[in-house]
Structure 1
């Protein structure tokens, strides 16, 4: 979808409650930035730090009292080919990565995934990683985490994802109280590639050792030393914020973007609301929009994504309302991919609270069915592709939303499930309606309102395939990506195990997301462009405020943050070069 000009839903939907207080780090009236950065997630902090390295004077503004945005909730991974972080026995190249991107993304080409933008991403990603590393950022290879389509030409079974190393939040000093805390509890200092072992700790020696290392040694040894160890998105934001603090970069919280200020076709700053007052911030060198997407803006989503998008269970921060995107549209910016999101299957309880599901659906002794009791998808496949297939099934049959995850007691006895340790379903999960428990498949089907005959037939057929280790219907377990989330103890197929041991358990599954992926259309320099392709001078957009270079795909862990930080780096470089040329 390609939209030019003001979104019809925007005027009604960007007005939401903002709270203000006198708690501030600096006085905005005394600040004279030449570069304004809207948002405070990892992309925004990267843009600010890179701008400062060019001797620019950046100002970061954040509308909430907390810094970090949705990045703090995330796994914190970045998909960066040829980053130099992975070990020497995992070689990579520009040409391999380009081939992989073309073979996946270009099946559904978009303007945002142009060859020029893919080239800019692949060329600058490693430079961004190296720059931050030289400044003290510590990276960790996501060891063994494969690309999402490793069997496609150019894909890698060893993956290309990286993440921040363990970081002590107490290094932030007084700023620690201003960082957004992830809702994950308990806060284990675990890397993304360790999660699979943690899920299987009851049935795997390696899993047990990983759990002991993460929950035992790594967490408690650091706590005994008076540290607050974090990984994933918290490490990414924490490390970047620490670097920004060290360089004296100005960050203003509770400062909301109202509109962009444009003079003679050039964006020269923004009108903001700060401490209850409207103010103008001049930023003659440029404005970088890095404030996320519009996942929490139900009206806006319904207008461009219909009811399925409007009702999606998003895991973004509450402030993800689309302010930056609509402000850019007001000054003529084109948009693209507004009908898309970083989709994923999500379990929900009776209150509507979402629970992201990834390992649960890939492990043996589980299936996902529609209300007729039929399977319709490879349960273990990449999460955005899963929801695309769910939407297609819904459109074709009228069934699929909601879908249902079905598992037996073999699954429950062996694996972590929605944060619950192996064993019985916790009473809280039954009380809130997250899971339903039954002694027979017939009873389970009746409780979930699934056709009994269809479910029993599906389970019989699935159990036959599980016995030989081959999914003839959807090829579950064929891809190394599927296998990464499975159980290596099942030699014939890491992802297949029969549904046979009572009691049985089921849960309702709905489309969810990690954020929207459509926004301001940008060029290879991260400049916002109009519908005719000309750039809007002085305006840049990165992260979920922009339409992603990944197009309609999700090709590896960190496909959101990898391009976000890379184009933040690119935008800051372009502003600095523009200033240099003007001298």
Structure 2
């Protein structure tokens, strides 16, 4: 029996549906189910709610809170047995220009600059990122932040975290990203066991803009003692007091879940979307599979799809994306299989940007189910990325989304999937590499083939099947540029974002250092992702748009279920969750306003 959040007895009893009388059986029409006013009365639906929310990630959980604030009754369905979606797997940031949390911390920002930044960064990619949607996002983002704080959510301003393109007009060197304050998991009570957790995400309760510095603990005594002080204040003392401190994506999902617990939100776990119900051209609910039984849920006010994209759906990725893409390289939650996107398409919803994803380079350890996010390593000195010819093909320290695009573009000419990250012993002594702590490269990692090791650059090239002359020539040229501090080929280390993950003790450029001290190391780098970027087309009110160009009444969507307002680009940390939360907020507001007229 699934347990719902409500303590009111009628809402805690599992729905039992007998197949002979199930309204879902009445609705069947081939592979689609419909609910027609002249055939089935609303009372014949198995359950009724005001707003049906598909997906329990951050967008869905925050939408439920907004529904409560409007006096509406929300019901969340979650495909998995645990709550949190890909939000719980993420870094937990929201990119929200002009938010009051950052302004209170001294950040000076305005929406005009942010809009100029987005316009220049994204360009014209069609209706998915229309001017109306960009403006709606920027205007409502700060309102969302204030609303959640008023509900009891505790924010943290990442004042030091730069936009990913701070050199573009309107870009900033820090302050537009926010994340959750430290949350005590004990507050969830019995629901802690039902919270999704990323097995490869660090358990250290650090904020997003602390990560870069904490990973440098082997670079100096001061950096080491910074880590010690952090461990004492953020881990040891809280646990001595009986607390379970949590941050990042898991902390974000946990805090939102806690607020929903307080409001007795109904959440049905192990409940997947089968199809949408229509009545006279409007979406009025959905058929869902709950514990192996198909039941129908009628939504009086609207249906909001926040179930993620199709990153874990191999067939959809092969159909819409380039052949080199592999769903096993994705870092999203296992439930991200495109159910909501498919359901929308079945009733005629338009789609956009289906070929794209939120790309991010990953290391794939043979014993790990999920890849290791390569973030700081490729920005640090004494390392490069090369293709099979042994040549660099991009700025290693650039935004992970841009790196993914550039890796695929290079692969169209030269084998670059996977690429290779090359580092020397100076790098290994001081920095993390492929998830391994500095100074520790287990023999098992080498014997398994995960890490390649050699005493010379030429020998390393042969071991990784890369052109030896090409790699040697690349390393020699890179070393010359590293000593001058200027990357003449790709400009590595030339802006605040790239410097953020560099080593400030390395001069004259914190992102450049020669590769010259043996032994040398290499690891494969794959173009992974943190979700697909294409999906259902929505307008500035988060309404799903039909192929005829008109909104589908009663159907809304947000997050990776939709084609991103960011187009093919990524503005800063939280460029996924920021729009997801904001458009979910916009959707519920529109549902309320529409039904109140």
For normalisation by structure 2, the TM-score amounts to 0.91
Q: CA deviation at 1:206?
A: 5.3
1:79 and 2:95 are equivalent in the alignment = yes
Q: CA deviation at 1:349?
A: 3.4
1:575 is matched with 591
Q: CA deviation at 1:235?
A: 1.3
2:499 is matched with 483
Q: Describe the superposition over 1:210-265 as per-residue Cα deviations: whole angstroms up to 9, x where unpaired.
A: 42233332111111111111000011101111111101111110111100000100
CA distance in 1, matches of 2:298, 2:114: 40
1:312 touches 1:513 (CA, 8 Å); kept in 2?
Answer: no
1:36 touches 1:58 (CA, 8 Å); kept in 2?
Answer: yes
Name structure 1 gaps, 5 residues minimum: 1-21
Q: Describe the superposition over 1:511-563 as per-residue Cα deviations: whole angstroms up to 9, x where unpaired.
A: 10001011110000000001232000000010001111101101100000000
2:78 touches 2:269 (CA, 8 Å); kept in 1?
Answer: yes
1:369 touches 1:376 (CA, 8 Å); kept in 2?
Answer: yes
2:32 is matched with none
Q: CA deviation at 1:417?
A: 2.3
1:165 aligns with one of 181, 187, 194: 181
Q: Structure 1 residues 422-431 or 386-395, which shifts more?
A: 422-431
1:94 and 2:73 are equivalent in the alignment = no
Q: CA deviation at 1:105?
A: 0.7
2:183 touches 2:254 (CA, 8 Å); kept in 1?
Answer: yes
Change in CA separation of 1:533 and 1:298 when aligned onto 2, cut-off 3 Å: same
1:561 and 2:577 are equivalent in the alignment = yes
Q: CA deviation at 1:23?
A: 3.5
1:24 is matched with 3
For normalisation by structure 1, the TM-score amounts to 0.93
| Secondary structure class of the residue paired with 1:307 | coil
CA distance in 2, matches of 1:529, 1:124: 20
1:312 touches 1:510 (CA, 8 Å); kept in 2?
Answer: no
CA distance in 2, matches of 1:165, 1:302: 39
Q: CA deviation at 1:155?
A: 0.2
1:36 touches 1:60 (CA, 8 Å); kept in 2?
Answer: yes
2:58 is matched with 42
Q: Structure 1 residues 300-309 or 497-506, which shifts more?
A: 300-309
1:189 aligns with one of 205, 224, 227: 205
Q: What value does the CA root-mean-square deviation take over the aligned residues?
A: 1.5
2:332 is matched with 316
| Secondary structure class of the residue paired with 1:283 | strand
1:334 and 2:353 are equivalent in the alignment = no
CA distance in 2, matches of 1:549, 1:46: 19
1:456 aligns with one of 460, 468, 472: 472
CA distance in 1, matches of 2:171, 2:222: 27
Q: CA deviation at 1:492?
A: 0.7
1:355 and 2:372 are equivalent in the alignment = yes
2:388 is matched with 371
CA distance in 1, matches of 2:461, 2:309: 38
Change in CA separation of 1:169 and 1:152 when aligned onto 2, cut-off 3 Å: same
1:152 is matched with 168
| Secondary structure class of the residue paired with 1:551 | coil
Q: Structure 1 residues 158-167 or 556-565, which shifts more?
A: 158-167
Q: Structure 1 residues 421-430 or 376-385, which shifts more?
A: 421-430
1:248 aligns with one of 254, 259, 264: 264
Q: Structure 1 residues 57-66 or 204-213, which shifts more?
A: 204-213
CA distance in 2, matches of 1:52, 1:23: 22
2:52 touches 2:303 (CA, 8 Å); kept in 1?
Answer: yes
CA distance in 1, matches of 2:545, 2:201: 42
1:433 is matched with 449
2:311 touches 2:327 (CA, 8 Å); kept in 1?
Answer: no
1:68 touches 1:237 (CA, 8 Å); kept in 2?
Answer: yes
1:134 is matched with 150
2:403 is matched with 386
1:494 and 2:510 are equivalent in the alignment = yes
CA distance in 2, matches of 1:80, 1:351: 37
| Secondary structure class of the residue paired with 2:199 | coil
Q: Describe the superposition over 1:147-180 as per-residue Cα deviations: whole angstroms up to 9, x where unpaired.
A: 0000100000124100000000110111111001
Residue-pair matches, total:
558
| Secondary structure class of the residue paired with 2:544 | strand
Name structure 2 gaps, 5 residues minimum: 5-11, 16-45
CA distance in 2, matches of 1:235, 1:311: 26
CA distance in 2, matches of 1:90, 1:428: 47
CA distance in 2, matches of 1:368, 1:288: 42
Q: Describe the superposition over 1:296-334 as per-residue Cα deviations: whole angstroms up to 9, x where unpaired.
A: 001110000021224561001111100000001111111
Q: Describe the superposition over 1:428-472 as per-residue Cα deviations: whole angstroms up to 9, x where unpaired.
A: 422432211111112211110011111111101000001111100
CA distance in 1, matches of 2:113, 2:299: 40
| Secondary structure class of the residue paired with 1:492 | coil
2:94 touches 2:177 (CA, 8 Å); kept in 1?
Answer: yes
Q: CA deviation at 1:185?
A: 5.8
Change in CA separation of 1:188 and 1:351 when aligned onto 2, cut-off 3 Å: closer
1:260 is matched with 276
1:271 touches 1:280 (CA, 8 Å); kept in 2?
Answer: yes
| Secondary structure class of the residue paired with 1:285 | strand
| Secondary structure class of the residue paired with 2:101 | coil
1:198 and 2:177 are equivalent in the alignment = no
| Secondary structure class of the residue paired with 2:285 | strand
2:47 touches 2:298 (CA, 8 Å); kept in 1?
Answer: no
Q: CA deviation at 1:362?
A: 0.5
CA distance in 1, matches of 2:567, 2:367: 33
1:6 is matched with none
CA distance in 1, matches of 2:192, 2:215: 30
1:191 touches 1:232 (CA, 8 Å); kept in 2?
Answer: yes
Q: CA deviation at 1:369?
A: 0.5
Q: Structure 1 residues 541-550 or 180-189, which shifts more?
A: 180-189
1:28 touches 1:252 (CA, 8 Å); kept in 2?
Answer: no
Q: CA deviation at 1:426?
A: 2.1
CA distance in 1, matches of 2:255, 2:367: 35
